[in-house]
Structure formats: structure tokens, C-alpha cells
Chains A and B, each alone.
Chain A
Amino acid sequence: MTTYVPVAETEARQEPGAPHYLNVTHGFRSWALTLDHKRIGLMYLIGTVASFLIGGLLALLIRVHLWKPEGAIFDPELYNQVFTLHGVFMVFFFIIPAIPAALGNFVLPMMLGAKDVALPRLNLASFYLWLCGLVLATIAIIFGGVDTGWTFYTPYSIQTPTAVIWMGLGIFMVGFSSIFTGLNFVVTTHKLRAPGLTWFRMPLFIWAVYSTSLLQILATPVLGITLLLLVFERVYGIGIFDPKMGGDPVLFQHFFWFYSHPAVYIMILPAMGVISEVISVHCRKPVFGYRMVAFSSLAIAVISFLVWGHHMFTSGQSEWAMMAFSFLTFFVGIPSAIKEFNWVATVWQGSVALTTPMLYALVFLIIFAIGGLTGIFLATLSVNIHLHMTYYVVAHFHYVMMGSTAIAFFAGVHHWWPKMFGVMYSEAWAKLSCLLIFVGFNLTFLPQFIMGSQGQIRRYATYLERWTPYHQASTVGAVILGVGFAIMVAYLLHSLLGVRKARRNEWGGVTLEWDSPSPPPLENFERPPVVTREVYDYSVLNPKS
């Protein structure tokens, strides 16, 4: 056993023909039945990015449709289906699994110095559960789509003739896939850390994914039973959520948001972990206030269970409950702000390398600040009544989900791409695409804040003449955003040709995954790693200074 010293090997490139996880075995079966966390992560990466592209295409269609006040493409029924599918694909098939299941699967065991996750078979099973969910969702689209919105509120979801049952079962499966992934990561973090890797030497990405996993384990089962009851409701008419049969639809909303508010943090927490890693590596500095950032992840996880009622301020919930929920919601701002300030403090006086991952991280810092601050207005009970169901809400959660989580996902993809495939992409094209995405994103959603605050209601296929300029600006932004992503797909695929080989430690990181060749061998490390230094100790890279 040797102690981890990456200095000498920073520059080393993988020997041509050396065995690594991509070429060690061949053929369809070697992938379909693989138990290697890296291959499973890669399959998730392909699956989630494909879902993202489908969801993105639907979003573009929505924006093009809204070019004209009377709507350009769809009749209203079809429009309802398109925005529902956009939401379902983006939330359940892209954002929730993207960072934990795709990047986390690849990176987390390596960061821990483990050979694999604790339960490799369960890991593969989760992937197939996710795939089955995707198949059921596709069946739902074939059997008439779904037009309830991604929230499936009763009683409409009981009455609509569309394929709610198929979609409900699909999301039930995706939910259990998410539970099993989270369970696997918690066990791996507890049981498979390398010798010397104490809890406070763990990279912040691990802390974030660990907190996310706790949320997945504790919140998702309630979504599971809720969707199951909804399916029973439609098949048997059990009446629990059906007002015609004595049920209370508000109870459905309670159950749904008991999961779906924590789910917002299932989406954002791993993104925060990625940002911590990227900022630290590309600024060559330990993350400022490491322990505070680590604990704030856990704090967010716990607080997120106390606030779900803020989605129900116009549902007929009791006033006392609403006051409690509004009050508690403000507390989420504290750990989120701790993180934001600590990241900024990390960048300050760091030796910032403006690489593509770092650019995405900076975009994240700006957009997350806007997304977080606009949430404070929505948390305020009285203001919420005014803003409820408007484009303001749409803009707010897109700033958090798309502008923060998806951006952080792409920061992570660019950060770990050289490690995953042993190749580097074109930085010039990558920076251009990042710029387009930044401009396009803000142009799409800033106008929505404005028209939302003035009362433009969401989820309608048509709108009043007076909103035309805002909607058209938003559509132009969406097209720019689409071009940005098209460029990204092109240069990433091109990089796989292997024109530029990546170095072993492409960015000069000091977490354990960089102590392995690019791409890594089957069991991750040439020698079992032993950790002897504190986390983010960059002095190891240039011992002379």
C-alpha cells in the first residue's frame, strides 16, 4: 500500500491499449449485465442526457407555440400534454437521476477510494428500474399522453381520459430506482471509505450526495404510495383523494409535496456538491468554511421536510398551517446562503483558471443567487397569493432547476469528462457554447419574472396581446439556448474520437478520483489508496512553494 501522492503523475497519459473499464470486456452483454459502477454511471449518463434532449425539444416546441398570442402550433389539449411531458421528463427522468445516478455513480466510489459501490447488483437493478419507468412513460405517451401537469393533482388526474395510470406506474418505478441508488450510496459512504478517509476528509461532493441520498430514502416512499393510491383511485375508485366520494384532494397535495419539496433538494444538493468540487479545483484552494458547507447540506436535507405546504397556499389549507409553512420556509435560505457565500469566498484570491467547468460554476453562482432570492418572495404568504400560478413561479424554479442544477450537471460533465473517457473536448467551442447557454437562459426566463409579477398566468395555450414582447423575447432566448446545447452535443461527441488525449490529472485536483489513470481501470485504482492528508490540500501538487 502506498500513500496517495499525485504530484509525479499529473502529466501522465494513459498508455495506448492499456486495459481500462471501457475496453476490458466487449459486446452488448458486457454492458447490459455489467456490475461496474463506472459503466452503470455511463449508461445513466446516456439515458438522462437523452431524456434531457427530449424534454428540451418539448420546451422548444412550447416556446415556439407561444410566439403568437393565439398560439402557433398546438390546440389547447395538446399543449397541456406537451408541457406535462416536458415537466415529467425533465424532473423525473433527467434532473433527479442526472447528478446522483450518472455522475455520482461514476465519481462517488472513486472519491471514496473504493473498488465499487457497496451493492453492485442493486445498482444495476436500479438502472433497469429506471429504464422500465422510461418504457412505461413512453407507453403512456402512446396511449394518449398525460395532461395533468407533472404534479398529478386530483381530482383532475382522476377524471382526465389520458394515460395517468401508465405514467403513474412509470414514475413509481423511477422513484424506487432513485431510492435504491440513494440507499447504495449511503451504505458505500459508511462502509467503503479508504483507510484514512475520515468524514471530515471527504470531498464536499460526497457530503452533498450523501445528504441527497438520505432525502431519496426518506421522502420517495411517500411519493410511491401516493402514486399507487392514485392508480387505485383510477382503477378501483377508492375515493381517498376523490371529493365526489368523500375524499379530500388537499390530502393528495400534502402527500405529493411531502416528497416533492424535498425532491427540489434532491435536485439541487448534488449540484451544490459539484460546484464545491469544481470551484475548489479550478481555483486551487480548499473550499472556504469546509465544515459549514458540509453541515449546511445536512441542514438543507432536514429543513426541506418542514416546508412542503408552501406549494399549497391557495389550496384551502388551514391558515395556521400556512403561517407555519411560510415561516419555516425562510429557514431554508440560511444554509443556502452559507453555501453561496462560502463559494464566493473560495473564488476570492484563488488562482482562478477560467476553464469550461469553472465558467459553468460561475454561471451557477450568478443564476443560483437569482433563483434563491426570488424564492423568498414566493415563500412570503401574502405575496405568494399574488404570484401563485404565474410565470414568476415558472421563472423561479427554472432558475433553480435548469439554471442551477442542469448548469452544475454540465459543469460536472465537463469537469469529469477527461476522467470518464480519457479525452479532452475543444475548450474554444465549449466556452462559446457556455456563453450561448448563459445568454439564452437569462433571455428565456428573465422576461418571465416580469410578466409573471404583472399577472401573466402559467400553463395556458394562449395569452393576451400585451404580453407578446415578453413571450417573444423568451422564445428567442430558448432558441439560443437550444443552439448552445446543440454545439455542446457536437463537440463532446467529437472529442470521443480521441484527437486530444486527457492527462491523468487533467485539472490538478487532489481528490482520489484523480489518483487513477484516465480512463480508470476496472477496479479503479492501481493500488489501494490510503489518505494521509486533509481534504483539498493542494500543497501536494507543488511541494516547493
Chain B
Amino acid sequence: MSAHSAHAEAHGHAPGAPVLVTHHHVSTVAILTKVFLTLVILTIITVGVSQVDFGSANMVIAMLVAAVKAALVMTFFMHLRYDTAINNIFILSSFAFLALLFVFTLTDFSTRKAVNPIHAKRAPIAEPDTHYLWKTPRTKEHKHE
């Protein structure tokens, strides 16, 4: 049975005829297998790269490889490639809005110690002793009650 005739049935050209094959896209076994094998190779690459010290580039590489793996899973296993535009837009925009959370939060963190130069010209700013609370060692007697 060809995909085309199934398509016709689902649209009611032959009402009452059983729908044996969906008229949606059906992935081939070959493509699913290829994607799985690629994912395995990428996992090996992730582990391999982590054993070599590239400094701060390690994080970038690890995340890039993970992003490629995620993209493969979404595109082929989750069928996004054959899905509607609107479904693509929604799931991708969730990553975009998540990026906003990352960008603003990490901007705050990474510029926390930067002093506005306008202030710096007028008066030296004393090192505040109340912030950077994480410099305080954890105390054993701390309780949550």
C-alpha cells in the first residue's frame, strides 16, 4: 500500500475504507538508525573531548556537541522536520525565551563587581563587606528551623 492512497483515504475519498497507513510522514528505518548511530558517535566525542584540557573552551565544545545531539533528536526522532511551522516556532521560541533568562541573570552575575566608572571618578568605593555572601564558609551548626 502506497502512502499516497492512504492519504486519499484519510481525506474521505473512499469513506469507510480502513486506514492502514497514516497519511502523515513515516520515517524510514534507515534514517532512524543513522540518527541513532550518529548520536552514539557524538556521545563518544563528548567523553573524549572532556579528557583533554582546552581550558574554558571545554564547556563551549561540550555544549555545542550536546546542542547538535539535541537538534538531531528533535529533527528526526521528534519529527520536527516534517511537522507544522507553528509547532516548530513554539518549541524553538521556548529556547529563545530561556536564553533571555540566561543572558540577563548571567549578565548580572558577571558584572556584579564592575563599578560604574562615573562613580569611580568621584569617590573611591569601599569594598562592601556584606555582599558576596558565598565567601562565607558553611557553618556546621547551621539549622533550618
B97 touches A218 (CB 8 A): yes
- Contacts A237-B144, A243-B134 given: A318-B104 contact, CB under 8 Å? no
Interface residues of B (CB under 8 A from A): 86, 93-94, 97, 100-101, 104-105, 107-116, 131, 133-134, 136, 138-139, 142, 144-145
Q: How far is the CA of A247 from the CA of B115 in the complex (A)?
A: 23
Q: A158 and B144: CB pair below 8 A?
A: yes
Give the residues in chain B near A243, CB-CB below 8 Å: 133-134, 136
Sample of 24 A–B contacts (CB below 8 Å): A222-B101, A239-B138, A243-B133, A244-B138, A244-B142, A245-B142, A246-B133, A246-B134, A248-B133, A248-B134, A254-B101, A254-B104, A309-B104, A316-B112, A316-B131, A317-B112, A318-B107, A318-B108, A320-B107, A320-B111, A320-B114, A320-B116, A324-B104, A325-B104
Q: State whether the Cβ of A306 lies closer than 8 Å to any Cβ in chain B.
A: yes
B-contacting residues, A31-85, CB 8 Å: none
Residue contact B105 to A251, C-beta cutoff 8 Å: yes
A465 located at the interface, meaning its Cβ lies under 8 Å from any Cβ of chain B in the complex: no
Q: Are the C-beta atoms of B111 and A318 separated by less than 8 Å?
A: yes
A230-254, CB under 8 A of B: which get 1 and which 0? 0000100101000111111111001
Q: Of B86, B100, B107, B113, which is within 8 A of A305 by CB?
A: B100
- B136 contacts A319, CB within 8 Å? no
Query: Once the chains bind, are A258 and B142 in contact (CB under 8 Å)?
Result: no
Q: List, in ascending order, chain A residues with CB within 8 A of B139's CB.
A: 244
For residue B113, which residues in chain A have a CB less than 8 angstroms away from its CB?
Answer: 318
Residues of A within 8 Å of B133, CB to CB, are: 243, 246-249
Interface positions of A from 72 to 127, Cβ below 8 Å from B = none
Chain B residues contacting A234 (CB-CB under 8 Å) are 144
B111 touches A246 (CB 8 A): no
Determine the chain A residues whose CB is within 8 A of the CB of B101 once the complex forms. 222, 254-255, 258
The A473-515 residues at the B interface (CB cut-off 8 A) are none
Q: Please measure, in the bound complex, the distance between the C-alpha atom of A254 and the C-alpha atom of B105, giving whole angstroms.
A: 7
Partner of B108, one of A159, A219, A222, A250: A250
A161 on interface, CB distance cutoff 8 Å: yes
Asked, given contacts A243-B133, A244-B142, A248-B133, whether A319 binds B116 with beta carbons under 8 Å apart, the answer is yes
For A322, the closest partner residue in chain B by CB is: B108
Minimum Cβ distance to chain A for residue B71 (Å): 21
- Check B116 against A306 for contact (C-beta < 8 Å): no
Closest Cβ of chain B: how far from A199's Cβ, in Å?
Answer: 12
Which residues of the partner chain A approach B114 to less than 8 Å between Cβ atoms? 318-320
In the complex, A258→B105 CA distance in Å?
A: 10
Interface string of A121-146 (1 = CB under 8 A from B): 00000000000000000000000000
Give the docked Cα–Cα distance between A316 and B129 (Å): 12
What residues of B have a CB within 8 angstroms of the CB of A218 in the complex?
Answer: 93-94, 97
Interface residues of A in 197-235 (CB under 8 A from B): 218-219, 222, 234
Contact B111 A319 (CB under 8 A): yes
A321 touches B131 (CB 8 A): no
Q: Is the CB of B111 within 8 A of A321?
A: yes
Closest B residue to A159 by CB, please name it: B144
In the complex, chain B residues whose CB is within 8 Å of the CB of A159: 144
Interchain CA distance A222-B99 in the complex, whole Å: 13
CB interface residues, A 308-330, toward B, < 8 Å: 308-309, 316-321, 324-325
Q: Is A190 an interface residue (CB 8 A)?
A: yes
> In the assembled complex, which residues on chain B have CB atoms less than 8 Å from the CB atom of A319?
111, 114-116
Among residues of B, the one whose C-beta sits closest to the C-beta of A317 is B108
**A321–B106 Cα gap in the complex (Å)?**
10
Q: How far is the CB of A81 from chain B (nearest CB, A)?
A: 19
CB pair B138–A246 under 8 Å, yes or no, is yes
Distance of A311 Cα from B106 Cα, bound (Å): 17
Q: Which residue from chain B places its CB closest to the CB of A155 in the assembled complex?
A: B133
Smallest CB–CB gap between A522 and chain B, Å?
27
**What is the 8 Å Cβ interface bit string for chain A, positions 268-308, against chain B (1 contact, 0 not)?**
00000000000000000000000000000000000001101
Q: How far is the CA of A234 from the CA of B143 in the complex (A)?
A: 10
- Which residue from chain B places its CB closest to the CB of A233 in the assembled complex? B144
Question: Which residues of chain A are near B109, meaning CB under 8 Å?
Answer: 318
When the two chains form their complex, are residues A161 and B111 in contact, meaning their CB atoms are under 8 A apart?
no
Whole-angstrom distance between the alpha carbons of A325 and B103 in the complex? 12
CB contacts (< 8 Å) of B105 on chain A: these are: 251, 254, 258
Contacts of A305 in B (CB 8 A): 97, 100
How many angstroms between the C-alpha atoms of A258 and B100 in the bound complex?
9
A254 cross-chain contacts in B, Cβ below 8 A: 101, 104-105, 108
